[in-house]
């Protein structure tokens, strides 16, 4: 499914035009962006929300202890 998102400010100009344009494509749905309220990133320094993000290694930890040496056959 593909969404064609029309900004609320341009709804009167674009919505009907985009619905007509994509009417033959069943994979496209035209919607109007109706989000309200302040942007959650507002007031933060550029990229500061990324600094708080923690990246973790999801691989298993290596087994603890010592291992015997392995020699390849000659």
- pLDDT tens column, 8-59: 999 999 999 999 999 999 999 999 999 888 877 666 555 555 566 677 777 8
Residue 56's beta-bridge partner residues?
none
Question: Do 18 and 6 meet the contact criterion of CB atoms below 8 Å apart?
Answer: yes
The mean per-residue pLDDT over the stretch 50-71 comes to: 76
Count of residues in the chain? 74
List the domain boundaries for the chain: 1-34
pLDDT greater than 90 at residue 72: no
pTM of the shown model: 0.51
Tokens 């496209």 identify what position? 28
pLDDT for res 53: 67
């Amino acid at each position: 499914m593909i969404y064609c998102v029309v900004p609320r400010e341009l709804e009167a100009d674009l919505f009907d035009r985009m619905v007509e344009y994509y009417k033959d494509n069943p994979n496209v749905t035209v919607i109007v962006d109706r989000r309200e309220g302040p942007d959650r990133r507002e007031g933060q320094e550029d990229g500061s929300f990324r600094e708080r993000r923690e990246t973790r290694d999801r691989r298993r930890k290596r087994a603890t202890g010592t291992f015997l040496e392995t020699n390849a056959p000659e």
